[in-house]
Chains A and B, each alone.
Chain A
């Protein structure tokens, strides 16, 4: 019966194609022209689901691997940079137990969920077979993918939130305090209020507080990793109320943040390392030499992307080989030197080429920030937890809710 229905479908399809033929060449309707043409006979293709890389690093890593490997060839399937969409797309694919992708890249907060769902292959054997230890890799990335005693991920690139300030505005004394991390949120607000208006700035400080994942990251920092939820929320509210932050700070994401900072509108900004790369491009009115870096008062949230293996992959051996390459010293070095990403393989932090390519890594303020990182919760129901944090936090900050309700709802969810 099913076969019959499929036949009917095919006939209908041909029929529509025939109708179509007058305007379009029939060749266009061939379902898989590229795949059929592009697959070479001898090498097995490993499919790597990954977001687009604005630098050339991904291309170079794939090329280097394909050059080196005798049995396998990697094809990067570029997914949307909208993380929410990518998550749902992966979810659909993994839930159907399909081996469509062999190696997948993930936001650090997805690993707990994917691992507990049984979609990922544990990687401890891979780590052991390459004579590595889990501690050879970035601790934050590895922690985000450790679930029930098994390591499910290896780092792709790591990320952390920290404070950018304008060196040409902030005094040397204050800069010293900032870089050493010896200041509180209240100190930052005072400084922001004192410096705003200088050198054409409009605001003192900007950060992310729209109702989205960025708010969870920022609240993580304001509440000192959820140790003081009520206090953190109140401090954040002080920032919202202050004249030193934009009136619509509650709609700010990373985009608004870097626009304000790079167009010279604000003295301080909380953002990820990528903004440094934008400043270095020289396209904006604020130049790289005006930038200073410091840790956030209670440490910065760990972000970034990690790699895992699809438990239903048909090419586990090849996936193993590629994972070891991309997360190991070879791949991570390309990523750090070509793409200026933070290396996830720790030994590279002392590598001369890496340090030369990435000025941030030698900056004392940034180095201090690297030592003060805080993670978001690693739980299977992370997105449910984060959703509550975002809604309750934003409700309170936008004067639509009470502090006690917000603090209670968040701490209940974190239990």
Chain B
């Protein structure tokens, strides 16, 4: 028993961090690496030539087989509508040719199935076969006869070229493209503005709130409870709620603001770029100040009372105490609060997505909304992943600046 305990004691640090490392590795690091791999590929799902990670050239065998089936299907339809026996003989002949071509491709790739790796000589040979197929079909439609599905046939046959998959590794091209994309620059600056203003307001208000909540006074419980309401409402729901309150015709807040003269008319709130961004920031400050306050409050609570007592004996006033005792001792908590609020604010998504959808005219679009649109709506995962990487880099620089600027050692010694 003692031996076991000793073993535990000696390796305690590693034992204690193991569960966290496993969790972070499995559910954060590995998935992130998996997605980040895409950043170096022209990976987009809405194109079968690019809907995978291909380091080599490949051939899409299922699509090839399907395409030959369709060519045969349309040839049969044409055979039933053509008028001249010459044409129907020709169709019968090229149906045979097509079968040979399909067989040729299959044996070229050793009858493998699925997405098959193909080297350059194979690809060249297949390209020749494709040209042959297109020529046969073009010759058919050059004949003077009645055809029923020329357009469909040519569209289907063009899929044979889609079957040839080239490597879509593109190195840093996505990043080069991003740096030239004006929308990235714009959304990044909107995100920065949003983050700077909202985090600053939240820090100041949160600090005041934490100081109040830490004071012994009547009604403290009420203040704490009420303060936490906004934070307890799920973001996706809070955003809907604000959309209703900001609404130009039925929203109480838009009406109150316009009657107070803060905005010219109720509809300006959501329809001017400045109004919409301010509205978003206000909603975010409303929602997350309690979170900030709670983090700071926890820090305030462990500042020993004795420090304040001795300093008031020395004749220091409240302001001096705040500057010389509270702030320095609160630094680690402020750093943590600032860091995580900034990280969250930089990734703002739900709130803007529901409130404005990026409008009016894309003026409130944040970088994560743009990245989300690129990845999930437009399925350009390569480009989107590269954008996310740049975004993480930007927020990483900010975090580094915080740590340097506040000069806090989180880890003792």
What residues of chain A have their CB less than 8 Å away from a CB belonging to chain B? 5, 8-9, 12, 84, 87-88, 91, 95, 113, 116-118, 122, 124, 148-150, 210-212, 246-248, 250-251, 256, 380-381, 383-384, 387, 391-392, 394-398, 400-401
Which chain A residues border B66 with CB–CB below 8 Å?
122
| Cβ of A249 to closest chain B Cβ, rounded Å | 9
List A contacts of B151 (CB < 8 A).
149
Q: Is B155 part of the binding interface, using a Cβ–Cβ cutoff of 8 Å?
A: yes
In the assembled complex, B22 has its CB within 8 A of some CB on chain A:
yes
Q: Does B389 contact A (CB under 8 A)?
A: no
Does the CB pair A149–B379 fall under 8 Å? no
B154 to chain A, nearest CB (A): 8
Report the interface size class on chain B: 35 or more
Kindly report which residue of chain A lies nearest to residue B159, judged by CB atoms: A148
Q: Are A118 and B63 in contact (CB under 8 A)?
A: yes
| A116 touching B46 in the complex, CB below 8 Å, given contacts A149-B70, A387-B373, A400-B360 | yes
> Which residues on the B side are within 8 Å of A251 (C-beta)?
247-248, 267, 270-271
Task: Give, as a whole number of angstroms, the nearest-CB distance from B360 to chain A.
Answer: 4
With both chains docked as a complex, state the minimum distance between the C-beta of A410 and any C-beta of chain B, in angstroms. 13
- Closest chain A residue to B250, Cβ basis: A259
Partner of B377, one of A87, A122, A256: A87
Task: Tell me the smallest distance from the CB of B359 to a CB of chain A, in Å.
Answer: 3
Whether A113 contacts B379 by the Cβ 8 Å rule is yes
CA distance A6 to B365 in the complex (A): 40
Which positions 143-182 of chain B face chain A at CB distance < 8 Å? 149, 151-156, 158-159
Q: Is B265 engaged at the interface, CB distance under 8 Å to the other chain?
A: yes
Q: A5-B26, A113-B45, A380-B47 are in contact. List 10 more A-B contacts (CB 8 A).
A: A5-B22, A91-B45, A117-B48, A149-B159, A210-B359, A211-B357, A248-B266, A391-B365, A394-B361, A400-B273
Question: Which 4 residue pairs are nearest across A and B when measured between Cβ atoms?
Answer: A395-B361, A248-B248, A211-B359, A149-B155
The answer to whether B362 touches A391, judged by C-beta atoms less than 8 angstroms apart, is: yes
Contact of B361 with A391 in the complex, beta carbons under 8 Å: yes
Contact partner of A383 among B51, B159, B266, B377, CB < 8 A? B377
B155 contacts which chain A residues (CB < 8 A)?
A: 148-149
- For the complex formed, measure the closest distance between the CB of A207 and the CB atoms of chain B, giving whole angstroms: 15
Q: A149-B155, A248-B248, A387-B377 are in contact. Are A394 and B362 (CB under 8 A)?
A: yes
Q: How far is the CA of A380 from the CA of B49 in the complex (A)?
A: 13
CA distance A397 to B363 in the complex (A): 13
B19 CB–A CB distance under 8 Å:
yes
Most buried by B among A5, A87, A210, A398: A398
Contact residues of A: prevailing secondary structure: helix
Question: Could you tell me if B271 and A91 are in contact, using CB atoms closer than 8 angstroms?
Answer: no
Measured between beta carbons, the chain A residues less than 8 angstroms from B358 are 211, 391
A383 adjacent to B249 (CB under 8 Å):
no
- State A384–B361 Cα separation when bound (angstroms): 15
Give chain B's interface residues, CB within 8 Å of chain A: 19, 22, 26, 45-48, 51, 63, 66, 70, 73-74, 149, 151-156, 158-159, 247-249, 265-267, 270-273, 356-363, 365, 373, 376-380
A149 to B74, CA, bound (A): 10
Cross-chain contact A383 with B373 (CB below 8 angstroms) = yes
- The reply to whether B376 and A91 contact each other, CB–CB distance below 8 Å, is yes
Would you give the shortest CB distance from B138 to chain A, in whole angstroms?
15
A398 touching B271 by the CB < 8 A rule?
A: yes
| Beta-carbon contact of A211 and B361 below 8 Å | yes
Specify which chain A residues have a CB less than 8 angstroms from the CB of B365 in the assembled complex.
Answer: 391
23 inter-chain pairs at a CB distance below 8 angstroms, sorted by A residue, are A8-B22, A12-B19, A95-B379, A116-B47, A117-B47, A118-B48, A122-B70, A149-B74, A149-B153, A149-B159, A150-B70, A210-B357, A211-B357, A211-B361, A248-B248, A256-B249, A383-B373, A384-B377, A391-B358, A392-B361, A395-B363, A400-B360, A400-B363
B residues less than 8 Å from A211 (CB atoms) = 356-362
Cα of A9 to Cα of B18 in the assembled complex, Å: 12
Contact (Cβ within 8 A) B153 A247 = no
Q: Are B361 and A398 closer than 8 Å at their CB atoms?
A: yes
> Which of B45, B158, B265, B380: most chain A Cβ within 10 A?
B45
- Write the nearest CB–CB distance from B238 to chain A, whole angstroms: 16
Task: Determine the chain B residues whose CB is within 8 A of the CB of A395 once the complex forms.
Answer: 360-363
A113 lies within 8 A of B46 (CB): yes
Bound-state Cα–Cα, A210 to B243, Å: 13
Kindly report which residue of chain B lies nearest to residue A148, judged by CB atoms: B155
B248's nearest neighbour on chain A, judged by CB, is A248
B378 touches A248 (CB 8 A): no
**Which residue of A9, A248, A392 is within 8 Å of B249 (Cβ)?**
A248
In the docked arrangement, what's the CA distance between A210 and B373, Å?
17
- Nearest to B154 among chain A residues (CB) is A149
Contact at A380–B273, with CB atoms within 8 Å?
no
* B271 contacts across to A, CB distance below 8 A: 248, 250-251, 398
Q: For residue B265, which residues in chain A have a CB less than 8 angstroms away from its CB?
A: 247
**Contact flag A248-B46 (CB < 8 Å), given A87-B377, A211-B362:** no
In the bound assembly, the distance between CA atoms of A387 and B376 in angstroms comes to 13
> How many angstroms between the C-alpha atoms of A106 and B273 in the bound complex?
33
With beta carbons under 8 angstroms apart, the residue of A150, A210, A381, A394 that contacts B378 is A381
| A387→B183 CA distance, assembly (Å) | 12
Report the Cα distance A5→B63, complex, angstroms.
37
Name the contact of B360 in the complex, choosing from A84, A122, A246, A250 (C-beta under 8 A). A250
**Which residues of A are found within 8 Å of B26, using beta-carbon distances?**
5, 9
Give A94's nearest chain B residue, CB to CB. Answer: B45
Please indicate the chain B residues that have their CB under 8 angstroms from the CB of A381 in the complex.
46, 378
- A12: which B residues are within 8 A, CB to CB? 19
Of chain A, the residue at the smallest CB distance from B356 is A211
* Structural contact, B359 and A394, CB atoms closer than 8 A: yes
Q: In the complex the two chains form, is B379's CB within 8 Å of A396's CB?
A: no
Residues of B within 8 A of A149 (CB): 70, 74, 149, 151-156, 159
Q: How far is the CB of A18 from chain B (nearest CB, A)?
A: 15
In whole angstroms, what is the CA distance A397 to B361 when docked? 8
Measured CB to CB, the closest approach of chain A to B258, in angstroms, equals 11
**Are B267 and A150 in contact (CB-based, < 8 A)?**
no
Bound complex: CA A380 to CA B149 (Å): 22
A117 adjacent to B379 (CB under 8 Å): yes
B45 adjacent to A117 (CB under 8 Å): yes
Given contact pairs A9-B26, A118-B48, A84 touches B362 in the complex (Cβ within 8 A): no
A204 to chain B, nearest CB (A): 15
Give chain A residues whose Cβ lies under 8 Å from the Cβ of B362.
211, 391, 394-395
Q: How far is the CA of A117 from the CA of B381 in the complex (A)?
A: 13
In the complex, residue of chain B having the shortest beta-carbon distance to the beta carbon of A112: B46
Chain A residues within 8 Å of B248, by CB: 246-248, 251
Partner of A84, one of B377, B378, B380: B377
Residues of B within 8 A of A8 (CB): 22
Q: Which B-chain residue is minimally distant from A394 (CB atoms)?
A: B361
B299 to chain A, nearest CB (A): 28
Whole-angstrom distance from the CB of A298 to the nearest CB of chain B? 24
The residue of chain A having its C-beta at the shortest distance from the C-beta of B376 within the complex is A88
Question: Is the beta-carbon distance between A387 and B158 smaller than 8 angstroms?
Answer: no
Q: What CA separation (Å) do A5 and B24 show in the bound complex? A: 13
Q: Is the CB of B357 within 8 A of A383?
A: no
Minimum CB–CB distance from A121 to chain B (whole Å) comes to: 9
| Most-contacted residue by chain B among A116, A248, A391 (CB, 10 A) | A248
CA A373 – CA B265 in complex, angstroms? 38
CA distance in complex: A84, B358 (Å): 14
Nearest neighbor of B365 in chain A, beta-carbon distance: A391
